[in-house]
Amino acid sequence: MVVHTISDEQVDLLFHALADATRRDIVRRAIDGEHSVSELATGYAMSFAAVQKHVAVLERAGLVTKTRRGRERLVRTDIATINHASRLLDQFEELWRVRANTMSEILAQDPGEVT
């Protein structure tokens, strides 16, 4: 099983970005369409600059894309990256399930059988 289909650095960026509740909420809100950074900022008790920084972290991780329309910067969730993160988590889950099952089998053996 191949877990690392992207570099460790990219995986770190991805899951670091998703580790923050505000960033997860921005991703969730931007799934249903483009939203300006200003519009996104109205939903949080923080400065516009702080929301911009959150969006920048998400953009570096590939979770959102920003496009310019006039003076606005529009944010949209990159569904392909979300799907990739989901596949990575599925691969990690399978890896640990196999390991847990192997441990269970070893623990279930008669102590005289273990070599």
Residue 88's domain is classified under what CATH number? 1.10.10.10
pLDDT digits (tens, 9 = 90+) for 67-112: 999 999 999 999 999 998 888 889 888 989 889 988 888 888 877 7
pLDDT (mean) for 39-44: 92
Q: How many domains does the chain have?
A: 1
Q: Give a yes or no: residue 115 inside a domain.
A: no
The answer to whether 55 touches 64, Cβ cutoff 8 Å, is: yes
Q: Is residue 109 helix, strand or coil? A: coil
- CA separation for the pair 78, 96 (Å, rounded): 28
Q: Give a yes or no: residue 1 inside a domain.
A: no
Domain enclosing residue 44, as ranges: 8-108
Q: Give a yes or no: residue 22 inside a domain.
A: yes
Q: Is this model's pTM higher than 0.85 or not? A: no
Predicted local confidence at residue 104, as pLDDT: 87
Long-range contacts of the stretch 10-15 (C-beta < 8 A, 24+) = 10/61, 10/62, 11/88, 13/60, 13/61, 13/62, 14/61, 14/62, 14/63, 14/81, 14/84, 14/85, 14/88, 15/85
Q: How far is CA 99 from CA 4, 57, 104, 105, 106, in A?
A: 17, 33, 9, 10, 11
Q: Give a yes or no: residue 44 inside a domain.
A: yes
Q: Give a yes or no: residue 72 inside a domain.
A: yes
pLDDT digits (tens, 9 = 90+) for 50-61: 999 999 999 999
